[in-house]
A and B are shown apart, each in its own frame.
Chain A
Amino acid sequence: MSEMIREDGRKFNELRPIKIEAGVLERADGSAYLEVGGNKILVAVYGPRESYIRRLLEPNTGVIRCRYNMAPFSVDDRKRPGPDRRSSEISKITADALRPALMLENYPRSMVDVYIEVIEAEGGTRCAGITAASVALVDAGVPMKDIVVGCAAGKVNDEVVLDLSEVEDKEGQADVPIAIMPRTGEITLLQSDGDLTEEEFQKAIDLAMEGCMQVSELQKEALMKKYSTE
């Protein structure tokens, strides 16, 4: 593997600096704040709770609904408020990424709402959102088989690298965001966007999974820090 240095000085397998904090909001049942590179993400969880959207409910289990939203001031050119096609897609795959970990059989006909707010965006917000959402779900006391974690790998200058920054994402050749359940290594989210050989793709998955395992430790630390006694 080459020792190429990336535009921000990172090694190919190095994550951007990450900070995670659990339980940051008063009203929400659970919440988390996450910073990775220039991303600032806030997540609130409500539920399991009664929902009036009856068509979404299931008779023998609880359901999860996610809303990924970018603040108008989170990007260089002001984004118009409200959902667009991109955020709707991310909302959907985020719910799908988190769902396999949730154990909601004991909460039939209930709804868990996950609200992901991107306060500032700098590449990789969907993975950051999933990572923060999992911490918020644990904070809310939602039963789970595992704490889902997200991380991306990609291809920049013909090299497979971990955790693309905004610049790398724009100029790079491919981006592969994934989310996993770290205990089993099962993949709950996978997208791939760009040009990769089969070998590069496999390398990207391996690298992204390594990244996920690192982030997973930080999730656990954040939760333990919030609730352990001095």
Chain B
Amino acid sequence: MIYVEDKNLVIPGQILADDEYYPGRGTFKEDGKVCSSLMGLVSLRNKKIRVIPLKSKYVPKKGDVVIGKINDVRFSMWDVNINSPYSGILPAFEVFGRDKKELNKVYDVGDVLFLRVIDVDEVKKAKLGLKGRGLGKFKGGIIVDISPTKVPRLIGKKGSMINMIKNKTNCKIVVGQNGLVWVKGDDDMEQLTREIIHTIEVEAHTSGLTNKIKNKLCLAIDGELPVEETDEEFVLEKPKLQNFKEELEQEEREKAEAEVQDDAGEDGGSEEVEAEENNDAEDKPNFYDVIKELKKKSQNKKDKNISYSDNSNNNSFILNNR
């Protein structure tokens, strides 16, 4: 017996189903009943019930990409605030390898970085790293924060939402799984994007959101509603996800050059390595690669709470594992 339907809004303690159903994330089993432990939307797959929370705090997980702020520079590591009850550390080793350098000359307090969670210890402290495409320090732009549980909605199915915003505003956007979003573009467009992201956060649990956002963007930018266009066309475009990398690349290159002139041979380490890596990567990763990677991950990890569903036509709030 089941007492709720897919996508129903439920609250903690609410009885969702009887024994024959399996309790997934956001639920628990007590006295032969599956109950919700959160306020959120029911997600029903076969006999497994989950509840996708409306709000939650980010708990670091190995493999996640996050946006973090350097809070402190210590002897051999950086303390990084990752918008979570748990702080992160970026060991100097992850940046310099075996070289000894002055940490605050590379990343100083207040710097904002795009990082990967490479490990989480038993008290949930996250060890962070910078090895990977597009990871590194942000230059310019703004930071917008949303509830981490809204991240999949902001990205949209196959990136439809985020790419639509990028195309329309000409902003570079990077989304961390910890709910921090980096946006860089024209001043006004940055502010518009901030507003759009907040609208998505507030209305994440409503249906028809992609169209609502499209209308809002068009009204703000073109001063008129968009001509009829189907979602598929949007999806078919292949916008680049991490194209802020070009920027990073270019800046790193300039910096590297400048430093070579200033102080020959002083710099090196990961930044230069990264710049090289980027130079090699002529065919830039498009969004699908990232999605594929994420999908692979979510298949590997059964309880992964972020994945991308593409079976729905109405763009409602779906974040299920396939």
| Nearest neighbor of B27 in chain A, beta-carbon distance | A143
Q: Report how far A10 CA is from B230 CA in the complex, Å.
A: 60
- A interface footprint on B1-13 (CB within 8 Å = 1, 0 otherwise): 0000000010111
* A147 adjacent to B38 (CB under 8 Å): no
| Contact across chains for B37 and A107 when beta carbons are under 8 A apart | no
Report B265 CB to chain A, min CB distance, Å: 41
- Chain B's closest residue to A110 (CB) is B85
* Contact in complex: B37, A144 (CB < 8 Å): yes
B35 touches A183 (CB 8 A): yes
Q: Which residues of B lie under 8 Å from residue A229 when comparing CB positions?
A: 205-207
Q: How far does the Cβ of B271 sit from chain A's closest Cβ, in whole Å?
A: 30
Interface size on A, residues (CB 8 A): 33
B39 interface hit (Cβ, 8 Å): yes
Complexed CA–CA distance, A145 and B123 (Å): 23
The residue that B13 contacts in the complex, of A107, A108, A147, with Cβ under 8 A, is A147
A110 to B124, alpha carbons, bound, how many Å?
10
**Assembled-state Cα–Cα distance A109/B207 (Å):** 37
Residues of A within 8 A of B86 (CB): 50, 110
- Taking CB atoms, residues of chain A closer than 8 Å to B9 are 224, 227-228
Docked complex Cα distance between A120 and B270 (Å): 59
By a CB distance below 8 angstroms, the chain B residues around A139 are: 39, 55
Q: How far is it, in angstroms, between the C-alpha of A45 and the C-alpha of B273 when the chains are bound?
A: 45
Find the B residue at minimum CB distance from A134: B12
Show 14 residue pairs from A and B whose CB-CB distance is below 8 angstroms, ordered by the A residue. A30-B55, A49-B85, A101-B12, A103-B37, A107-B85, A108-B124, A138-B11, A138-B39, A141-B54, A145-B12, A147-B12, A220-B11, A227-B54, A228-B9
A-B contacts besides A108-B123, A109-B124, A144-B13, 20 pairs, CB < 8 Å:
A48-B57, A50-B85, A101-B13, A106-B59, A110-B86, A138-B12, A138-B39, A141-B53, A141-B147, A143-B12, A143-B37, A143-B38, A144-B37, A145-B37, A181-B13, A182-B13, A223-B11, A224-B11, A229-B205, A229-B207
Chain A nearest CB, measured from B189 CB (Å): 25
What range describes how many residues of B lie at the interface? 20 to 34
- B124 near A141 with CB under 8 A, answer no
A132 sits at the interface (CB 8 A): no
With CB as the reference atom, state the residue of chain A lying closest to B147: A141
Q: Hey, which bits of chain A sit against chain B, CB under 8 A?
A: 29-30, 47-50, 59, 62, 101, 103, 106-110, 138-141, 143-147, 181-183, 220, 223-224, 227-229
Q: What's the least CB distance linking A163 to chain B, in Å?
A: 22
Cα of A229 to Cα of B207 in the assembled complex, Å: 9
Q: Tell me the dominant secondary structure on chain A's binding face.
A: loop
Is there an interface contact between A223 and B39, defined as CB atoms closer than 8 Å? Answer: yes
Task: Give bound CA distance, A59 to B13, whole Å.
Answer: 26
Instruction: List, in ascending order, chain B residues with CB within 8 A of A59's CB.
Output: 123
User: Across the two chains, which residue of chain A brings its CB closest to B148?
Assistant: A141
Which residue of B is nearest A103, CB measured? B37
Q: Are A183 and B13 CB-contacts (below 8 A) given A50-B86, A106-B59, A141-B56?
A: yes
In the complex, residue of chain A having the shortest beta-carbon distance to the beta carbon of B53: A141
Residues of A within 8 A of B53 (CB): 141
Least Cβ–Cβ distance between A137 and chain B, in angstroms: 8
Chain A residue at minimal CB-CB distance from B59: A106
Complexed CA–CA distance, A138 and B13 (Å): 11
Task: List residues 47-90 of chain B with CB under 8 A from any CB of chain A.
Answer: 53-57, 59, 85-87
Mark B200-211 against chain A: 1 for CB-CB distance below 8 A, else 0.
Answer: 000001110000
